[in-house]
A and B are shown apart, each in its own frame.
Chain A
């Protein structure tokens, strides 16, 4: 057990801190509990400043507009920790930056890298992800949106769902069935679709939160250039798995649970009934402590994962459990906050007695979406059992004749 950092990382931490102290006046206001906001000029200006200093797009090569540093996971985690601790927004977190850019760097052509990466990292070109379909959630590889090559164009027809940001994105990376006769995983291609192409219709999807965090996207004879394909025909599933690898730490990130827990602790110290604080109620305090133990367990588990990554080892179960553990934990934290507020816990949207701008109810519902999205909890259990414990897959049931579904697949996501 060696939890110390080399001097150069301590120096690096100081640098990050000084940067934040000197520049925080330029940072956009922290994201509120309200709708997921569309990034605007303030966010883009902040992003440009962060890229210049090396705190966003840090490892993206300079030729594509990045900072061009060598990948270093400890530096990355120091940056994330310091911005989070200072309560200052870090770099843009769009799905284009998190998922598309690393994928293009790995499997894109030089032209694709030059065309898409610079605009993706500044936020100038916003991306959305076209994966899930109404009939293809957990069994993502059964997707049916079709692409047919006509001359030098793909012609796309079909429908995507759970597409966040589609109503303001300029581009979509999309899984499309282009080889209908191939086995299901080998018939999919990874296409890049400009959202202003005629035939693309975006329709907001209102959820239980009362907001429209997601969309449905319809394709009706949408024509895009034949060159808008990443890797070859039928290689989309492989490309998507490259992308998934980059989603590291997204769902199940302990920093989020830690911040959420701190918010809960503040609430419970503040909230009173008959003059006594929620935290002094033994039953509520007991739940609070159960949650703190889990938050700490997730935090140290993540340090094990980081250690394995740094040493080039497979963290195995320690990584496989984090999405399941973290998303369920966040939901439990939200639930305790609501219970600590008692009757007032049901207030929503506005009003004098609303606490924390109604965040807890919004999170309680939104976090349930995250338990489901990105590979639902039951899919996560399959993944843990099959990949982590080497248990056999569920035998295929007899499938009714229509469609190409059947069997289990892993990891459907938004």
Chain B
């Protein structure tokens, strides 16, 4: 029995950290964020080179055929560096959803390109959770019409996994009748868009509601993993800062007020990490099960709360500096803020989990 990383996984994580240290330091994140594409070519090819893109792609399609926990390690590290890489839709949700949709043609077309870092797939799933006024996508005889908001990782996507009429569809970005308009959010490391569909041709992904739920479970647990990494980074920066910053002739980390704030963050974060790891593990251990769904709900909702608490607390430990653009702590603050809002508020997700439990 081993709950945690194997030595191979530790090696893989170290490799990821080296790559991200080199290719995605804060100065680089800042440059890419200014453009708002949510995509950094050099980082992306680096991820493909170390095999990160193909972690969930089956071996027959040129991937590594590993588990969601392995891919979750990539997400956690991307969050740790607030890295602009559309990994969540492309390399975490798409490989499993496309393989499970039963369409060998789509799998054969897309999965090898995903593993090679040559294709990117965005997610237009917000309406499957709840449609804002004016939003919603309809299916009319295999053609989609309507509006999808907050489509994730849209900046450079070649196609979108789109929820419409209780089912999932693959929609190519160049399709006639599709317009993609960027939506500017607090988090400039990830690209969001409004997609307008006007009788757009789409390829159905067989699997109905179950596959839609599966895609949501995957995306939610991935957002939780991103938050774990981002919150960890903020917490570590706050701890380090509290050992350097001197006020009243003492490092501020010697004041119980600061110590206890940091201890509270550690106490929230450590068990939350274990919850997320298990939720990731279950996504490929018991895919589509009630248990995997329940854990995805809990991981997403819980990390939304823990993330907010750490983001706020770690910024506060930095005092006025935490509030500046210069320090850059806000990149993590905003990353965690976006993770929380996407694909279901904690209240909404808990209501979903409660309904299942009350039955």
Contacts and interface: CB of A to CB of B under 8 A. Distances in A.
B353 A277 contact: no
B271 interface: yes
B198 interface: no
B253 A392 contact: yes
B308 to A, nearest CB: 13
A391 B259 contact: yes
Contact of A392 (B3, B251, B267): B251
Interface stretch (A53-61, A301-309, A366-374): A301-309
Given A290-B305, A391-B259, A395-B250, A307 B1 contact: yes
Nearest to B303: A293
Contacts of B357: 265, 279, 288-289, 292
Contacts of A380: 263
A286 B349 CA distance: 9
B250 A3 contact: no
Nearest to A74: B1
A296 B275 contact: yes
A1 B2 contact: yes
Nearest to B256: A394
Given A301-B270, A381-B263, A391 B67 contact: no
Given A285-B354, A294-B271, A296-B295, A385 B301 contact: no
Interface stretch (A157-165, A203-211, A317-325): A317-325
Contact of B267 (A2, A303, A311, A384): A384
Interface in B243-267: 243, 250-251, 253-256, 258-260, 262-264, 266-267
B228 to A, nearest CB: 11
Interface in B1-22: 1-6
Contacts of A307: 1-4
A395 B69 contact: no
Contacts of B4: 1, 304, 307-308
* Majority SS at the chain A contact face: helix
A317 B270 contact: yes
Report which residue of A282, A293, A386 has the largest number of chain B beta carbons within 10 angstroms of its beta carbon. Answer: A293
Contact of B1 (A2, A292, A321, A325): A2
B176 interface: no
A229 to B, nearest CB: 36
Contacts of A395: 250, 254
A384 B270 CA distance: 12
A4 interface: yes
Contacts of A94: none
A301 B259 CA distance: 22
B220 interface: no
B358 A277 contact: yes
Contacts of A293: 275, 298-299, 301-302
A61 B201 CA distance: 75
B254 A286 contact: no
A406 B298 CA distance: 44
Interface string A1-38: 11111000000000000000000000000000000000
A382 interface: yes
A246 interface: no
Nearest to B351: A282
Nearest to B297: A289
Nearest to B243: A391
Nearest to A283: B347
A334 to B, nearest CB: 19
Contacts of A2: 1-2, 6
B266 to A, nearest CB: 5
Interface residues of B, number: 47
B271 A298 contact: yes
A297 interface: yes
Contacts of A394: 254-256
B339 to A, nearest CB: 16
Given A300-B3, A378-B260, A391 B242 contact: yes
B92 interface: no
B285 to A, nearest CB: 8
A391 B302 contact: no
Nearest to B68: A1
A290 B67 CA distance: 27
Contacts of B301: 289-290, 293
Contacts of A311: 2
Contacts of A308: 4
Nearest to A386: B259
Interface in A249-293: 265, 269, 277, 279-280, 282, 285-286, 288-290, 292-293
A394 B347 CA distance: 39
Interface in B227-252: 239, 242-243, 250-251
B254 A393 contact: yes
A385 B1 contact: no
A310 interface: yes
Contact of A301 (B239, B260, B271): B271
Interface of A: 1-5, 74, 265, 269, 277, 279-280, 282, 285-286, 288-290, 292-294, 296-298, 300-301, 303-304, 306-308, 310-311, 317-318, 320-321, 324-325, 378, 380-382, 384-386, 388-395
24 contacts: A2-B6, A285-B351, A288-B354, A289-B301, A290-B301, A292-B298, A293-B298, A300-B3, A301-B275, A306-B1, A307-B2, A307-B3, A318-B270, A325-B271, A381-B260, A381-B264, A382-B256, A384-B263, A385-B259, A385-B263, A388-B263, A389-B239, A390-B243, A392-B251
Given A280-B358, A391-B239, A392-B243, 4 more contacts: A292-B353, A293-B302, A311-B2, A384-B263
Interface of B: 1-6, 67, 69, 239, 242-243, 250-251, 253-256, 258-260, 262-264, 266-267, 270-272, 274-275, 277-278, 281, 285, 295, 298-299, 301-302, 305, 347, 350-351, 353-354, 357-358
